[in-house]
Structure 1
């Protein structure tokens, strides 16, 4: 028989040594005391306030709007769908009030497992954010049999970054940028604020703060992780940053000159994208020792591609099996650097081009080049969110709402030199290109980067350039102690890859949380090659293929044996 709640409260209060800690919510009992059941303790968090002075940036108070006890649940497999088992936990949802009353709240979620390992994982977002990241999903690139962090005993947390996308039209997803506080929250502030609120909640619930806090994200979430290491090095112990949008403001601007020519003859249909992908495979596939429809030797491929070989007779568009001069110009622009007329944050003046290979792998539904660069139809102004390439949708939103701040502006007329002061200001807020990670590394912080070479959203070269900039700033020894860059050839922005010739899935799944944690807690550095896998999505998660994921600048070169086995590959240096 359970003891009365009042008796449990008295016992727990006597055991609580941290009830006066900053951010503590008065009247609550730490579950860590062992004196109160989680099912009783969890709901008492609802309605509580974390005061603004417990948050390390200017903010309003945080309020916990709901706190629900969630019992453990077993795994569920139905057909090709699988849901991993989840542990007993307390699901906390809340909001942080803005300073500017015209700004929207920051929404957040914190998940508190009853069996806590003393650590926390903050999940990153994606794109323009605006949707609550719950912290309950599998990590990016996880295999189906990799346990989610909550199941491993981590507290998990996430946010919508301080705006709600449902408030804006589908073709105006950047409209929150009209408000200075909402823009700053998206750039960096919301993640720090939610981190501080989550620590206060953990102090309250467990009676102690976490021993380790990690940030794990991809794309925009990868940028967020780099931002935390750069701006708040004392707050995080490790970061996994997958395909990070290092130069966010520069990336979005570089989309414009790659999109505008598509209005008048430069657009590639999905059929033409297939023609391009087939040609690239013919030229680059076997450079890794195996003709399997997968480009692994990423640095050697570009010099093998001569787009003139695809030119339609006379340069006019004569069908799906060739490219017109205007279409060749668009493809060439995607794979060349874009030079800005003046430097932006941290002296950056160039946004690099993309690599070739895997243009037709679904990412996640449309072929990757169609989804990102060319779209399902000729672009329109304003963009049609149903058919527009992400280049045009994201780029035009950035210009309209972050730079010009006029939703009626015709982005086809945009010239960066006409908005230099504003571009410099926004770049300083958004771009995560500061190579000085000395403070983060000095306190033992570890950083794992992953770049996907079939990524046509953000350029993998931008991540490589950032890695090289950190090395130049801090030296080889510091980077070797604290930073790794892994390359996943052929992987799209979202992660998956497939053979261009057969459609067979490529091994791209890998757990990066476990090696990060071992590196931080045990000083056990990750291997030079990690094993990526491809597995069936339901038990028994049959292994389909494996291959090594090599440290930059290496790639997996086939040396003989079973092409589906990692042991049949050797990491070799890729050279232009």
Structure 2
């Protein structure tokens, strides 16, 4: 697993000084004073182009091709861009490796993406190089960002582009790691001592895929709020729209918020603490029917909660089921905002209608219906059940990302941490809990699993960040300490962010939890 025997920690400063000396001897050999590493080799792929550009530090640093300052505190770095293809696919995969010139900490950090974007480049790479990591990101041959629809999914004849799907599903991060490691070794004159992967959402799914398919790529993986079982999760994210479509009722955000406030009031104290947070959404049994007949003011109007409103909320919380009542996947946790998955909109003229989560709607349009312009507002229970079954059957092998057999990752010495907000409004945390339990079953129980894979649940925290609860402050540091010094974390330091009261705390290692009178137990 480890690519070198250099020990980082007490020797960090000498390593950085040595790297500075290595770089200074070759500053004049490349564009902008950067050395040009040798062209990497990747089996099954062909390198189309490679460039090296120097980027100054601090606020003068310019993001590649964007012409904007990247951020303060960024050290001078060299940006190595590699473009490759997989004949005969004719794709063009871009990989960027950012290399701090004189502040390298001896480590490599690969970064993940979000939604249908395999990588986030500047957003992910800036904090990595700021902390001294040589870092990399990739677009998997699918240019765009987390808000872009997956136009790459379909060929002109509207068949699925299996090659680009493979890039997105599992191949891109593995190949990025192979390319980046060669670039790093050529640039600094030595390989990275340790390699890490960090990602949330789609990035969390990519981290799991790495542990499952390529267990020797990374010493440590931080796979947060992972989009586990993508082929089931993504259609499940569309379930709230189906429920509203069938009912012919589309509640306002104000009405949905009233149900959440009532649920929090009812279940806040279940963990023994009154802090405005549902500590255990899975045990919250608040019945939305209790609000039927109550009135509330929304945008200057008085609205009365109906039985139809309550039934919609109940079905969204319960999650998708077949028409026979069999569970298909998990639902939105009580306390999580409805705004992403159960969004609605009111045009100037006409009635209120659904505003589906783009990732879920695009998965259905591009990968299941293969009709990019299809109006999905007509999808009801019968069609949803058929689409869900197709998604589960057709895409499990390529993007299921939920194989619980992590024996090869464990044997390679790998360590993995996952944290997940319990008020996640996009990816249901019960899916993470389900995966952890299945890993325990496959790997010899909870104690054996804890030796290499630990999960931390964050009450009140939204998708990847924010919310009323404490968010992990530096989970990567905990992972590094575990990998390099053998100190497995029992808690993750955390603090609230944004407009919420500034509080700090610690997230408990699953299945432990904190109560009013006892810490994690």
Same fold (TM over 0.5): yes
2:78 aligned partner: 90
2:479 matched residue in structure 1:
516
What do residues 28-76 of structure 1 show as CA deviations (whole Å, max 9, x unaligned)? xx9677274464355377988745xx225x333152244224346699x
Match of 2:278 among 292, 295, 300: 295
Aligned mates of 1:85, 1:465 — CA distance in 2: 40
Q: Which residue of 2 aligns with 1:365?
A: none
Change (3 A) 1:341 1:281: closer
| 1:445 counterpart = 2:423 | no
| Structure 1 position 394, deviation (Å) | 2.0
Q: Mean Cα displacement is larger for which, 36-45 or 153-162? A: 36-45
State whether residues 334 and 423 of structure 2, in contact with CA within 8 Å, keep that contact through their aligned partners in structure 1.
yes
Distance 1:60-1:134 versus aligned 2 partners, 3 A rule = farther
Distance 2:37 2:487 in 1: 40
Which of residues 505, 510, 533 in structure 1 aligns to 2:495? 533
* Structure 2 partner of 1:306: 287
> Where has structure 1 moved over 6 Å in runs of 4 or more?
30-33, 44-49
Alpha-carbon distance change, 270 to 306 in structure 1, aligned in 2, over 3 angstroms? same
Task: For 1:79-158, list aligned pairs within 5 A.
Answer: 83-100=71-88, 103=91, 105-114=92-101, 115-129=103-117, 132-134=120-122, 136=124, 148-158=127-137
In structure 2, which of residues 493, 498, 507 is the aligned counterpart of residue 549 of structure 1? 507
Instruction: Choose the corresponding residue for 2:149, options 173, 187, 194.
Output: 173
The answer for the alignment partner of 1:461 in structure 2 is 430
For the residues of structure 2 that align with 1:295 and 1:421, how far apart are their CA atoms? 35
The corresponding residue for 1:160 is 139
Aligned to 1:241: 223
Alpha carbons of 1:320 and 1:61: their partners in 2 closer, same or farther (altered >3 Å)?
Answer: farther
1:272 CA displacement: 0.4
> For 2:231 and 2:203, how far apart are their aligned partners in 1?
15
User: In structure 2, the residue corresponding to 1:338 is in which secondary structure?
Assistant: coil
- 1:3-402 pair list within 5 angstroms: 34=22, 36-37=24-25, 39-43=27-31, 50=39, 54-56=41-43, 58-71=44-57, 83-100=71-88, 103=91, 105-114=92-101, 115-129=103-117, 132-134=120-122, 136=124, 148-165=127-144, 173-178=149-154, 179-263=161-245, 265-301=248-284, 303=285, 305-312=286-293, 322-339=304-321, 350-357=328-335, 359=336, 368-377=337-346, 388-390=355-357, 393-402=358-367
CA distance in 2, matches of 1:419, 1:279: 31
Structure 1 runs not aligned, ≥5 long: 1-29, 76-81, 139-147, 343-347, 360-367, 499-505, 538-542, 560-568
Question: Residue deviations 1:67-96, cap 9 Å, x none?
Answer: 224346699xxxxxx955122321223322
Q: CA deviation digits over 1:427-483, x for unaligned, max 9?
A: 211111000000001111001011110012111000000000000000134312111
* SS of corresponding position for 2:128: coil
Task: Give the match's secondary structure for 1:280.
Answer: helix
Paired with 2:242 and 2:327, the residues of 1 have a C-alpha distance of 21
Does the aligned pair in 2 maintain the 1:275–1:321 contact within 8 Å? no
Residues 211-259 of structure 1 show CA distances to partners (whole Å, capped at 9, x for unaligned) of 2211111111100000111010011111111110101111111233321
1:86 counterpart SS class: coil
* Distance verdict in 2 for CA 1:329–1:165, change over 3 Å: farther
Alignment partners' CA distance in 1, 2:231 and 2:457: 24
Q: For this pair of structures, how many residues does the alignment match? A: 473
Distance change >3 Å, CA 202–CA 454, structure 1 → 2:
same
TM-score, normalised by the number of residues in structure 2: 0.81
Task: Write the distance in 2 (CA, Å) between the matches of 1:331 and 1:341.
Answer: 17
Which blocks of at least 5 consecutive residues in structure 2 are unaligned? Answer: 1-17, 62-69, 155-160
Secondary structure at the counterpart of residue 419 of structure 2: strand
SS at match of 2:340: helix
Are the equivalent residues in 2 in contact too, given 1:132–1:158 (CA < 8 A)?
yes
* Matches of 1:399 and 1:215, distance apart in 2: 29
Distance 1:48 1:89, change over 3 A: closer
**Alpha carbons of structure 1 residues 525 and 206: separation in structure 2 relative to 1, 3 Å:** same
Give the whole-Å Cα distance in 1 for the aligned partners of 2:389 and 2:39. 40
Deviation at 1:322, TM superposition (A): 4.5
Contact 1:108-1:194 within 8 A present in 2 as well = yes
CA distance 1:35–1:241, change in 2 (3 Å) = closer
Deviation at 1:336, TM superposition (A): 1.5
- The DSSP-based 3-state class of the residue aligned with 2:341 is helix
Residues in 2 aligned to 1:164 and 1:485: alpha-carbon distance in whole angstroms: 32
What displacement does 1:546 show?
0.6
Structure 1 residues 375, 313: CA separation in 2 closer, same or farther (over 3 Å shift)? closer
How has the CA–CA distance of structure 1 residues 124 and 374 changed in structure 2, closer, same or farther, with 3 Å as cutoff?
A: same
CA RMSD of aligned residues (A): 3.5
Aligned equivalents of 1:109, 1:320: Cα separation in 2? 54
Once the two structures are TM-superposed, the CA of residue 188 in structure 1 deviates from its matched residue by 1.1
Query: How far has the Cα of 1:545 moved from its partner?
Result: 1.4
Task: Provide TM-score, normalisation by structure 1.
Answer: 0.74
